[in-house]
Amino acid sequence: MPPVRAVERALNILACLGEEDLRLVDVALRLKLHKATVTRLLATLARAGMVSRDERDRYSLGPGLILLAGGLLGRYRTLADLLRAPLRRVWETTRETVTIHVRVGSERLCIEELESPETITYRAGIGNRVPLHVGSAGKVLLAFLPEAERATALKELRLVPLTDRTITSRNRLVEELDRVRRAGYAVSSGERIVGATAVSVPVLDPDGRVVAAVSILGPESRLTPEVLKRYAVLLKREIPQLPMVVPHSAVVAGGKG
């Protein structure tokens, strides 16, 4: 098996196990791979601590992967600490889930989340990564990039749909990013999860560089268009410009900037 293909298949296995614990045969069926191939890959991942197998022969993500994720999230602690107080104020005012996302290559990574106390709610999940073209947080992280960097990022994006509302047209995405930049915030509805909606604003450092996106998310039944507009004003008021320049390497992990 060519090395690059093996890596791609191993990553696909990890993505499957990130959704649910699976038996070897289930992984093979889901990824349409031969059982022998999956057996070799799972054995390699298990030796590295990336997957674990239980007494029912079900595989799950292993402690090695969790340690790697913890190391990545730890790089963003300073940023999360700087935003903790305003994040808490927004959460107390809205009683909706509030998150911080940063750009990691062509994806956005959730580094902090305060979950809504309401019965019906939605979560992003600390450590979860989503393509940048999906949802309001990703649009903010793209829209407020310098023009040349934004153009490069757009070229690298694969506009894969997660729902029937996900933007898959590059021209439409560019138009949406222009609107976001003019408005100073982004909204989305059902692009990642059907029934969920969100509003996001950028977090800028003193140099005017976007370093994160802060979002409010919840069900469409509560976050109506009128409510989203009010929450956009709230976020703009509460989320400050950072008092320090955050090192670029700690903001765009895996990026090319």
| Strand ranges, E, within the chain | 22-23, 51-53, 58-61, 97-104, 107-114, 129-131, 186-189, 196-204, 210-219
In this predicted model, what pLDDT tens digit does every residue of 182-222 receive, in sequence order? 999 999 999 998 999 999 999 988 888 899 999 999 999 99
Return the CATH number of 75-250, one of 3.40.50.12780, 3.10.50.40, 3.40.50.720, 3.30.450.40. 3.30.450.40
Domain-wise residue ranges, the chain: 3-69, 75-250
Arch. (CATH architecture) of 3-69 = Orthogonal Bundle (1.10)
Read off the pTM: 0.70
User: What would the two tokens of residue 194 be?
Assistant: 């059907």
How much is the pLDDT for 82? 85
In this predicted model, what pLDDT tens digit does every residue of 138-162 receive, in sequence order? 999 999 999 999 999 998 888 988 8
Comparing 95 with 77, the larger pLDDT belongs to: 95
In this predicted model, what pLDDT tens digit does every residue of 107-141 receive, in sequence order? 888 889 999 999 988 888 888 888 999 999 999 99
> Between 3-19 and 35-47, two packed helices, what is the crossing angle to 10 degrees?
80
Mean pLDDT taken over the chain: 87
DSSP symbols for 215-236: EEEEETTTS-HHHHHHHHHHHH
